[in-house]
Structure 1
Amino acid sequence: MRLRARGALGNASGRFERESRVAVDDGWEMAEEERLLQTEVREERPRSALSYNRSPDLPFDRSVNPYRGCEHGCVYCFARPSHAYLGLSPGLDFETKLIARPGIAAVLEREIGAKAYRVAPIALGTNTDPYQPVERDWGVMRAVLEVLAAWQHPLAITTKGTLVERDLDLLAPMAGRGLARVGISVTTLDAGLSRALEPRTPLPARRLEVIRRLSAAGVPVRVMVSPVIPGLTDHELEPILAAAKAAGAVAASWIMLRLPLEVAPMMQDWLEARVPGRAAKVMARIREVHGGKDYDPAWGKRMRGEGLWSQLVAQRFDKAVAREGLGVKLPPLRCDLFRRPARTGDQMSFW
């Protein structure tokens, strides 16, 4: 199977599978057609739309995910292990066997329209990118946005995708009312490294242009230096912040590389194949900031790491943010405008 623009180098079985599959030469001297690995999309009819969490280190308590899996193929993606729950590999399956959730917008409208519902900002793009390439054909994210705009429901988006520009007709008016903001993730400014690390994402220069266009339309944009990969991309922290500020970003954040479960060996294989001279250094630094392990999932540590090196990154970030004027604390998204949209046949108010 030929790979083109894929992040993972293999397709190891998920942690819940009892069997593993390995490609071997069967000994038959017969030429076999080598096919290009294609993206497949199948549908899921969701029974619920809102996912709730109680994590004390997250700034939101609910989210919506229009897709499972992500064609962007970022090799470092912390969400890859979620594909194991579907009986699929967190490797190549995660970026080629996708689940679209058409109908989730209608389910979401039913949930936020329930009498017991209490409004709070909804996060979009917390697990997989809602503006990955397949959104162009499926439009699931667009349908979700249309519901939230109609109800004047606050939302925050995280993405690397350029398709967010398509939805400025909805996002700009919402942002003007204090209902929407967008976070754009920039991992590196090196186009070659970006293409290897996150093969189907827009290149860094194009992401900076997305920041510019959203900002020009009045949408507050936070640049997310995420993830910071110690020994590989950490030296770019200050240049990324400066470039994002020049493009119009008004705030910034950073997250240390996270390698949960199957992602750790996957990332190590990628390092040894793509940057062999730096692989040992990168993995040693990763373990240094995670208490000697590939990853520490403890709240308060998983996003930042710990120890001297993590503290140095945090200090550098704080100084660069202050220098660039990105230390703005954005006002809370408004919840007081939330209301049921008018429907055909509704009785009109006299006031």
Structure 2
Amino acid sequence: MLESGAEFQGLLRGAPVSADRILASSRQGYGEAVFNTSMTGYQEILTDPSYYGQIVCMTAPHIGNTGVNEMDPESSRPWCAGFVIHELCATPSNSRSQNDLESYLKDHGIPALSDVDTRALTLHLRSRGVERALILPTSERHRSAEIFGKLPRFEGRDLIAEVTTREMYRFEDKGEEKGSHPLHIVAMDFGIKTNLLRSLAAQGCSITVVPASTGPEKILALRPDGLFLSNGPGDPAAAPYAVETIRKLLGKLPIFGVCMGHQLLALAAGAKTYKLKFGHRGGNQPVLDNETGRVEISSHNHGYAVDSSSLPAQAKITHISLNDRTVEGIAIPSANAFSVQYHPEACPGPHDSAALFDRFAAALKRV
């Protein structure tokens, strides 16, 4: 059920869902309906905290073919509010598979729909834009107006505060030997993905992950060589505390931001952000590097963008989307800071932009 009144029917899968369950928690079965054009990587999508508060429609017709495993998650659990697919594979075939997708969704409390006309749903969202949505049994669809009226909208809601770590911690990559990290960075957790941490550790960095509300004094007291700004869900303007922290650290440390981190860096520099009609979500998004002229195929998951006309003179646009010309990267040379809107760490890929981690490591070593 979409807020506009449009209905897309399917078979209920995964965890049980009802109007009363949604009203009691609003974490599952209620969210913004979005679509993702990735052909694979559904387990990474489910466990990416940036999808918190979203009901994700996969445009690929067959989902679940490779099952699920303990190696691929991007966090400790799935975060999306619901999952919508066309055809669910009940018998996965992959040497790494440890369970089937429907059992995984049920175990983690995520309601889903299969046998949905996902092509029609995607076309609807492209033409009308992102909408609030519900996953409900047919017998309870008459309660949709009641639920929409009682539950909060997502614009202006601080979703970062709902997904960030509650305590500071050190990230230890099992693939790295102790003592092999001469560089120390602080990562502000706005909804951080595990593979971002792995990618930073692979550059020879020890990483202290801190809550999104951590102030500049506490960050500097950790004596880092640089600051990393992570991905995360929702509206960047709803986290002014993070913007203020970044503003106070500009010029004091090398800074690298990804996705939400990119938007927060732009806000800290004095720019504005705005909500896209239907966002960018998928692993096949073309981005132009303005400095090299190289086109990179990249992974995206964002519903907001930086307003190019609002960027201050000291910030330059380094990357743009070839789909809609939105800002995909900025640099502030005077502050030794740069960011990208997309995901250079993407799992399962693409990996065209992995060199951005090399660039950050080089900036750390120059300080």
The answer to which structure, 1 or 2, has the higher relative contact order (CA under 8 A, 6+ apart) is 1
TM-score normalised by L of structure 2: 0.31
Higher percent of residues as helix: 1
Q: Which has the higher strand share?
A: 2
Task: Look at both structures and tell me which one has the larger radius of gyration over its CA atoms.
Answer: 1
